[in-house]
Amino acid sequence: MNSRLKEALRRKIDGHNRLVQLSTIGTALGVFVMWAALYFVGNWLPLFFITIVKGVDAEAPAKLPRYVLVALLVWMVVGMIDRLLRTPDERVRESSPLDATIRLLLLPPRATFAVLDNHRNRVQLNAIELEQASGFVEHLYRVGKIQMQSVPVELPGDKERERILTALRLTEMIREREINKTDFLALTHPERVAKFLESDGSAAHSRLA
């Protein structure tokens, strides 16, 4: 087991998780500001129209803030139903004018759920899985590419294999290639991995990214 490669992979995963955490916090703040603005507009717009009709002495209904909160909650429920009914392909393929309109109307709830989706991009590997991942990366560097159907031979455990491959994909360590209608896995940047497989100890502080 190459300890330098393992440590570099651990650092890369930690860096990836920090970026995910920062982006999640930033997105969450943006979503909070968006909902706060919608709540403000929801309370101000009816008062604006009432003022036009009844004059400057008009007052908004006492329960208006409650109605606005209920409307926002219903909006979120509709967004949740939309999220459950759509398939992953449909989420990517939306392109018609109707789809664009629906996407605009459901932007607030979709943005809210996107915060949760982004948080799930964090990578969690235990010590054994980290060793398996670094060993797999080293083997992939040695052989150049591996057929997808051969990956279970290198990573036998189903759950561990899925977690490791997901981690390596999210950190952009590996990529899929199609050659003659056959799917292969290969390193995204093999030259970066090469630094950790050299016998010269001067590469000890190199990074994968």
Q: Exposed, middle or buried: residue 125 (CB in 10 Å: 0-12, 13-18, 19+)?
A: buried
Please state the φ and ψ torsions of residue 44, each to the nearest 5 degrees.
Answer: -80, -40
H or E segment to which residue 186 belongs: strand 182-187
Q: What is the pLDDT of residue 204?
A: 43
Q: What is the pLDDT of residue 200?
A: 43
- Per residue in 90-107, pLDDT (tens digit) is 555 556 777 788 888 899
Strand partners, 178: 183
Answer whether 125's CB lies under 8 Å from 133's CB.
Answer: yes
Work out the number of other CB atoms within 10 angstroms of the CB of residue 6.
19
| CA 187 – CA 157 distance, rounded (Å) | 21
Q: What is the pLDDT of residue 202?
A: 45
Q: What is the pLDDT of residue 66?
A: 93
Residue 181 zone, left/alpha/beta (φ > 0; ψ -120 to 50; rest): left
Answer whether 200's CB lies under 8 Å from 165's CB.
Answer: no
Q: What is the pLDDT of residue 94?
A: 54
Answer whether 115's CB lies under 8 Å from 31's CB.
Answer: yes
Q: Which residues contact 51 (CB under 8 A, 6 or more apart)?
A: 58
Answer whether 154's CB lies under 8 Å from 136's CB.
Answer: yes
Query: What is the second-level CATH architecture of the domain 125-203?
Result: Orthogonal Bundle (1.10)
Q: What is the pLDDT of residue 61?
A: 78
What tokens does 164 get? 């490791």
Q: What sign does the CA torsion over 68, 71, 73, 75 have?
A: negative
Positions of the chain with pLDDT under 70: 1, 56, 58, 87-95, 198-209
Rounded to two decimals, the pTM is: 0.72
| Whole-number Cα distances in Å, 122 to 94, 116, 164 | 27, 11, 12
Q: What is the pLDDT of residue 18?
A: 94
Q: What is the pLDDT of residue 180?
A: 86
Which single residue is written with the structure tokens 């896995």? 185
